[in-house]
């Protein structure tokens, strides 16, 4: 069973925040999100909008692509594919 795009995003976000050495509160403050929103995103309970992805990546000084790492859309199969 593969993870959903939301769960892959949440793992990428959590990993990037840990690498930056900041708390959920600090990340939220940097991008104008409430800490509970960051928590929901990191736990895969909320799917981010494009603007939120851009805010988060800017606050973490990474590219939006890094938050989507390991995910791809397979046009022929009409489904997401995940890489480790």
Picking from 21, 54, 26, the residue whose alpha carbon sits closest to that of residue 39 is 26
Number of separate domains in the chain: 1
3: pLDDT strictly greater than 80: no
Please, which contacts does 66-70 make with residues 24 or more away whose CB atoms are closer than 8 Å?
Answer: 66/12, 66/16, 67/9, 67/12, 67/13, 67/16, 68/8, 68/9, 68/12, 69/12, 70/8, 70/12
Domain span holding position 62 = 5-82
- Average pLDDT on 5-29 reads 97
- Average pLDDT on 68-83 reads 93
CATH of the domain at 40: 1.10.260.40
User: Residue 15: which pLDDT band, with cuts at 50, 70 and 90?
Assistant: very high
Q: What is the pLDDT of residues 18-57, one digit of tens each?
A: 999 999 999 999 999 999 999 999 999 999 999 999 999 9
1: pLDDT strictly greater than 70: no
Give me the chain's average pLDDT, please: 95
């Amino acid at each position: 069973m593969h993870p959903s795009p939301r769960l892959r995003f949440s793992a990428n976000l959590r990993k990037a925040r840990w690498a930056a050495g900041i708390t959920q509160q600090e990340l939220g403050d940097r991008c104008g999100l409430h800490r509970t929103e960051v928590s929901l995103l990191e736990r895969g309970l909320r799917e981010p909008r494009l603007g939120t992805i851009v805010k988060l990546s800017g606050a973490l000084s990474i590219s939006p692509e890094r938050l989507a790492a390991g995910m791809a859309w397979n046009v022929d199969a009409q489904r997401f594919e995940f890489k480790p």
